[in-house]
Structure 1
Amino acid sequence: MGRHRKNRTHLKGGVASNPAAAEGVPKSFVIKHGQVGTSLTQLVRDMRRVMEPYTASRLKERTRNKLKDFFTMAPALGVTHLLAFTLTDVAPSLRIVRLSAGPTLSFRIERYSLVKDVLNSSKRARNIGSVEYLTPPLLVLASFPQPGPGTPPHLPLLMKTFQTLFPPLSPQKLSLSSARRIVLISYNADRGTVDFRHYLITVKPYGVSKRVRRVLEGATTKVSASKGYLDLGNEKDVADFFLRKKGEPGPSSDGYESAASSASSAGGDDVDAISLADDYLGRNNKKGQKRAVRLDEVGPRMELRLIKITEGLPGKEGSVIYHEFVKKTKAEATAQKAEHVAKEKLRQQRREEQERNVKRKKAEADGKKAGSDSAEQEEGEEDDGALNDEELEDDGVWDDEEEYSGGEEDENASGSDEEESSEDEGPRPPLKKPKRGKR
């Protein structure tokens, strides 16, 4: 029996249900550049998970690949951003490149933690599935100063760069069930760094204890996980399970707790509780229900320091917009800008001159080819004319070896000569029969 072959392409999440939704959204490449260790390679994989679904999750880099290769391939795939991780002598670095004309932001990674490190250090182990990554995360910018006369000029550009990394948020068109993750970018003014955090959105019943919430959500205890229901065999009363304080061996006269004052309540403050504007994923999360929202960090976690902002792409950098360690006066900045303008003008002139040379050489080659064709055609015409002249000359010139027969006298003379020759020759011998070979 032949092997079943899949002919249908399976797309992710919103792209499969609504192909037009993928148009106009930012797409990214997350790559490692140069020789990096295993930790930085894992960080690249974690960042690809953060940028899903509009990123190349299975992109494989080769050691011989250059950044120019990705710049050439990106426009055909609609990629708008490139995140390149590399390892320097000082520290790991990250470059965020806006395609296809720049600018390029260079960061130094001061500290970072992988997804496995964050989950291992968390008290509440969270099961991360693939459903959370079918929709893009929501971006939250915190602690950035408002644009104004006293604001450093590089901070608005930094905010704009992070905003364009993710799809724009439209509250009127956003489905509540698609809000599954949050990316938090916060600016630390004291250290001059940017903190990168990644969270999952969790919705829990509000104002109930952990045991009641376990019943409402349909969760099972560790003892009865295989049975699929709560194991109350060791309890004397249902109230022992629902109202007993944590750590007490059994019920007592004053050992009960109310649902509102439970220490394990999902939300004990009205600030944490919201009314759902629409149906959300999970059991009993219907529109209008009061629920507590909690953010569970899943990583990765990075602390970034902005080093430099340049115009253009790596390899074709223009003027330096901002530098953390190099400070220049206005005169030096003006001179550098004039130098870049002169270099760009010279580059443009050389490009135009090269194009003119290519056109001129192509025209010369076409002219030589046309001249050779015309010369061959003229030679062919001359050969044809020479042949025609020779034929005409053959018709008008007598050949010495050619016999001439003209008039009756000549005919009679020729006839008598033939008779005389036939009489002189005598009878001819019979023809010999060919010998037949043995079969």
Structure 2
Amino acid sequence: MADVDTPQTFVFKRGRLAHAASLLVGNLQLVFYPNGYSRLKARKSNTLRDFLAVAGSLGVTHLLVFTSSGEGTTLRIIKTPHGPTLTFRLVEYSSMQDLHAAQGAPVLTKRMIDSAPLCIMAGFGDVGKETKRSSDEQKAIQLCATTIKAMYPEVSVTTAGWRSVKRCVLYSADKTGLISFRHYLVRYRIADASGGLISVFQEHNLALGSLESIKDIQTLQRPEPTDLLECFFSDKPFQLIEVGPRMKLKLLKIEAGVSSGMVLYHAYVTKTAEQVAASELKAAITRNRMEKEARLDIRRRVRRLEEESRNIARTATARQQTADNLAYYAAEREAELSESLGDSPAT
């Protein structure tokens, strides 16, 4: 059983999604494994309240919900049990299957993902500095960073060592606030290998026709890191292998509660003080209504359990009465047979 302090996630979809977007659901379930549920399936009849009802007993701290509308695919990150709820639009995305077909990325196995990934955040502190964005937007991005970071368990590299890191995820924000997501396997680098040998092992389609002999491999140059995360690991005894999925996320809004609270931030709507007060009142009414419905639901469940207990007790009583009647009938028949045998003439 997972530690109570370890974050747990549900990843599922609501409604119909495009096939490519549906693949992301299973991909992210693998990303969060083993601190998630890789075989979670949502039925059409399941509501968000159903998932919230079981989240507490299972120790689930975050829900990732994919939905689709006329404007595209959205991803909601919900912190249970009281929020906040972050809503993103998927600007671009590629599934693990897409990367495997295009780049030959390895297919994940349970052995590769038996430990949680290391979460790396980059660029969130620089959002809005050059574009002079409002303080509300900068605070929203910082809340995004805090919420995303909380979805992953803390991995102490200094304590456990680099060899304990098998995977890592990178969330990087550009200066406009667009968030990119990448997922990598971390492989141990060959010790004391030359740049030429590293080139041979890392390049799948390396051209060696220009070399006169095998000794000339040593003249090959070690490939330079191509992105931010590879630069970070360039002096580490590891190499990175991207396995997907990839996503680019645009923050749309932040709600205080669980998909029904007051809107704390909206990318396209700016409210006046009167509108904010009206939103707070509406959120309070909605919150009270949901709490009342939750209490009624608990009472209904308690009554149903009590009725089931009474039915079980009545059934047990009826069975015991039947058993007693059968025993009494058997005793009477035995007595009658004994009397009849005693009254019969001797031969």
TM-score normalized by the length of structure 1: 0.56
Deviation at 1:76, TM superposition (A): 0.8
1:199 paired residue among 143, 167, 184? 184
Output the CA distance in 2 between the equivalents of 1:313 and 1:328.
21
Deviation at 1:211, TM superposition (A): 5.1
The question of 1:325 aligning with 2:268 is answered yes
The question of 1:246 aligning with 2:208 is answered yes
Output the CA distance in 2 between the equivalents of 1:213 and 1:176.
23
Deviations 1:186-209 (A, max 9, x none): 11223x321111111123235415
Deviation at 1:36, TM superposition (A): 2.1
Q: Which residue of 2 aligns with 1:301?
A: 246
The question of 1:62 aligning with 2:21 is answered no
The question of 1:262 aligning with 2:220 is answered yes
Output the CA distance in 2 between the equivalents of 1:258 and 1:104.
54
Structure holding more helix per residue: 2
SS of alignment partner, residue 153 of structure 1: helix
Output the CA distance in 1 between the equivalents of 2:150 and 2:211.
56
Output the CA distance in 2 between the equivalents of 1:271 and 1:309.
31
Deviations 1:70-91 (A, max 9, x none): 1111111111110011111110
Structure 1 residue identity aligned to 2:209 = G
Structure possessing the higher radius of gyration over alpha carbons = 1
Output the CA distance in 2 between the equivalents of 1:249 and 1:188.
42
2:175 paired residue among 164, 181, 189? 189
Q: Which residue of 2 aligns with 1:99?
A: 80
Please say if residues 30 and 48 of structure 1, whose CA atoms lie closer than 8 Å, have aligned partners that are also in contact: yes
2:5 paired residue among 24, 29, 32? 24
Deviation at 1:173, TM superposition (A): 3.5
What do you get for the CA RMSD once the two structures are aligned? Answer: 3.7
Higher RCO (CA 8 Å, separation ≥ 6 residues): 2
Change over 3 Å in CA distance of 1:183–1:273 after alignment to 2: closer
Report the number of matched residues. Answer: 283
Output the CA distance in 2 between the equivalents of 1:345 and 1:86.
23
Change over 3 Å in CA distance of 1:204–1:155 after alignment to 2: same
Q: Which runs of 5+ in 2 are unaligned?
A: 226-230, 300-347
Change over 3 Å in CA distance of 1:345–1:324 after alignment to 2: closer
Task: Report 1:31-430 matches (<5 A).
Answer: 31-122=12-103, 125-126=105-106, 128-145=108-125, 150=135, 152-190=138-176, 192-205=177-190, 206-208=192-194, 210=196, 246-248=208-210, 250-251=212-213, 257=216, 259=218, 261-263=219-221, 274=235, 291=237, 293-314=238-259, 317-341=260-284, 343=285, 347=289, 351=292
Please say if residues 210 and 266 of structure 1, whose CA atoms lie closer than 8 Å, have aligned partners that are also in contact: no
Deviation at 1:34, TM superposition (A): 1.1
Please say if residues 204 and 266 of structure 1, whose CA atoms lie closer than 8 Å, have aligned partners that are also in contact: no
Output the CA distance in 1 between the equivalents of 2:81 and 2:146.
16
Output the CA distance in 1 between the equivalents of 2:251 and 2:232.
35
Deviations 1:356-378 (A, max 9, x none): xx9xxxxxxxxxxxxxxxxxxxx
Please say if residues 188 and 239 of structure 2, whose CA atoms lie closer than 8 Å, have aligned partners that are also in contact: yes
Q: Which residue of 2 aligns with 1:385?
A: none
Percent identical residues: 30
SS of alignment partner, residue 63 of structure 1: coil
SS of alignment partner, residue 132 of structure 1: coil
Change over 3 Å in CA distance of 1:176–1:22 after alignment to 2: farther
Please say if residues 112 and 303 of structure 1, whose CA atoms lie closer than 8 Å, have aligned partners that are also in contact: yes
